[in-house]
């Protein structure tokens, strides 16, 4: 089992560019999440999904969109990147028990 994987691991964007972050899990989990972590802070929830074809907003959704077309994948899109979106992005998945499994993170810099 690979667990939760994230692609890419690092990315540098210019202001106004777009990109998509891919999260994949092979544990057949229903729930998937995107968080961002800014320096010296805890993780904040951007968007989440409770099953294939569903998405919902979290605490800090502005500037991001998500899609869950397949159960194993959860995509996070930035349509027009801004320097305020410079952060480390974590994807996580969970089953009907309690633990969330996190991916290794994607470090995004917007210049």
Partner 1 sequence: AQKITQTQPGMFVQEKEAVTLDCTYDTSDPSYGLFWYKQPSSGEMIFLIYQGSYDQQNATEGRYSLNFQKARKSANLVISASQLGDSAMYFCAMREGRGSSGSARQLTFGSGTQLTVLP
Q: In the stretch 37-76, what mask flags binding to partner 1 with x, by CB under 8 A?
A: ---xxxxxx--x-x-----x-x------------------
Closer to partner 1 at the Cβ: 48 or 74? 48
Closer to partner 1 at the Cβ: 17 or 102? 102
Phi/psi at 84 (nearest 5 deg)? Answer: -70, -10
Residue among 5, 43, 31, 52 nearest 99 (CA): 31
Residue 103 DSSP SS3: coil
Q: Does 1 contact partner 1 by CB under 8 A?
A: no
Q: Does 33 contact partner 1 by CB under 8 A?
A: yes
> CB under 8 A: which stretch of 13-21, 62-70, 71-79, 92-100 binds partner 1?
92-100
Residue among 46, 98, 101, 97 nearest 75 (CA): 46
How far apart, in whole angstroms, are the C-alpha atoms of residue 107 and residue 11?
Answer: 6
Radius of gyration of the CA atoms of the chain, in A: 13
Residues in contact with partner 1 by CB under 8 A are 31, 33, 35, 40-45, 48, 50, 56, 58, 88, 90, 92, 94, 96, 98-102, 104-105, 107
């Amino acid at each position: 089992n690979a667990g939760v994987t994230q692609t890419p691991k690092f990315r540098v964007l210019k202001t106004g560019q777009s990109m998509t972050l891919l999260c994949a899990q092979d544990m057949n989990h229903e729930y998937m999440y995107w968080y961002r972590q800014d320096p010296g802070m805890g993780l904040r929830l951007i968007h989440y999904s409770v099953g294939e074809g569903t998405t919902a907003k979290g605490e800090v959704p502005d500037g991001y969109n998500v899609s869950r077309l397949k159960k194993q994948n959860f995509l996070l899109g930035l349509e027009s990147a801004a320097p305020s979106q410079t952060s480390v992005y974590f994807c996580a998945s969970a089953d009907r028990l309690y633990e969330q499994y996190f991916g290794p993170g994607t470090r995004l810099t917007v210049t």
